[in-house]
Amino acid sequence: DCEDPREYCYGYHPVQIGDTFNRRYQVVSKLGWGFFATVWLCIDLSGRRVAVKVLKSGAEFTQAGQDELTLLRYSSGPVSRHPYSQRVVQLLDEFKLAGVNGVMCLVLELLGLNLRSWQLCFGNPGLLQPWVKQILTQVLQGLDYLHTRCKIIHTDIKPDNILLHLKEQTHVSPPKEISVKIADLGSSCWVRFCLVLTMVRQLTSGVWLAWHISQIIELLGKIPPDVALSGKYSAEYFNRKDLRHVGPLKPWRLYDVLVEKYNFLLGEASEFSDFLLPMLDYHSERRVTAAQCLQHPWL
């Protein structure tokens, strides 16, 4: 799995193993890639291993990189004295390579696999519940730090963006204690700019979005009219009573999904759904905070 070589004509910066960035960071191997950047394992002059994120060149990519840099500078700055700051990836350095607009590079602490890749290493699509609780506790701590101290909303929490923070080992084995960090602030934004969000800008088909909303309703119940009809595009997807473009819905509530699909015991399903549902309240002002989630008995 690698980036499309044709994209090097449209912004990816060519990098070779052995290259030295900024007269300090020698490239050892590629760690990964995404739409906006490639990421490289490098060794600096002191022998420390770091991850260097090389963003695409071009005005639009430069602006995206500058936005991410601003957020990382803040979350890694003076406010990072907060104990939960260690649950978020730290910015170590920054520089630019020669290019039309300058190729922005972010030097980040080196972390391990993301959760999705780590699951695949052990041939199991799921993780043991004690590990899940450890991971969720640490992710919630990181989110509490971002939300309350940094006033930053990540907007893209998923297994791919949760990275393991493990001591170096000579072989792959399941650790007894798991440490993780939230990574990739590329989609993040300041709280003051995130008062109103919409999925419509990312979806081109009204029918597809209506189907997506129908899945939410089947899981969480009917969307209250004051929420359903309050958006700029509400009339495209809702009439006064029902969701447009979609036939009869088949409710399958979260508790039942846990029991019937994932074979949870009844008590476990009740406790876990009680943990999750307050995060998913249709009214944003009623949703629990990360700090409140940390107090839930399920953890």
Cα 83 to Cα 148: distance, rounded to the nearest angstrom: 13
For residue 61, is it within any domain? yes
Residue 209: which H helix or E strand, with range? helix 206-220
pLDDT of amino acid 204: 44
The two structure tokens encoding residue 33: 């890639």
Q: Say which residue, 48 or 121, is predicted with more confidence.
A: 48
Whichever domain contains 76, its CATH number is: 3.30.200.20
Give domain status of residue 83, yes or no.
yes
Helix H or strand E segment including 138: helix 129-144
- Cα distances (Å, whole numbers) of residue 16 to 26, 55, 287: 10, 15, 47
Structure tokens belonging to residue 20: 């030295």
Catalytic residues: 156
Per the domain annotation, does 16 fall within a domain? yes
Q: Give 247 or 267, the one with higher predicted confidence.
A: 267
Q: Is residue 183 part of a domain?
A: no
pLDDT reading at 195 higher than 50: no
Kindly compute the dihedral angle of the four CA atoms of residues 116, 117, 121, 123, in this order, to the nearest 10 degrees: 40
If 0-12 CB within 10 Å is exposed, 13-18 middle and 19+ buried, where does residue 143 land? Answer: buried
Q: What count of other Cβ atoms lies within 10 Å of the Cβ of residue 214?
A: 18
- Please name which of 161, 164, 183 lies closest in space to residue 122, comparing C-alpha atoms: 164
**Run of H or E including 31:** strand 25-33
CA angle 51, 82, 142 (to 5 degrees): 60
Closest CA to 220 of 249, 250, 248, 253: 253
- What is the pLDDT, as a whole number, of residue 216? 92
Q: What number of other Cβ atoms are within 10 A of residue 145's Cβ?
A: 24
This prediction's pTM: 0.85
Does the residue 71 lie in any domain?
yes
Tell me whether residue 53 is annotated as binding.
yes
195 lies in a domain? no
Q: Is 104 helix (H, G, I), strand (E, B) or coil?
A: strand
pLDDT digits (tens, 9 = 90+) for 27-72: 999 998 887 888 999 999 999 999 999 988 777 777 778 888 888 9
- The Cα 170–Cα 48 span in angstroms is 18
> Any residues with CB less than 8 A from the CB of 204 and at least 6 apart, and which?
none
In a domain, 119, yes or no: no
Provide the domain limits for residue 67: 5-109
pLDDT grade for 265, boundaries at 50, 70 and 90: very high
**pLDDT tens by residue, 122-136:** 666 678 889 999 999
- Contacts of residue 197, Cβ cutoff 8 Å, sequence gap at least 6: 155
In a domain, 88, yes or no: yes
Eight-state DSSP code of residue 238: B
pLDDT in tens, 211-223: 888 999 999 999 9
Please give the tally of structural domains in the chain. Answer: 1
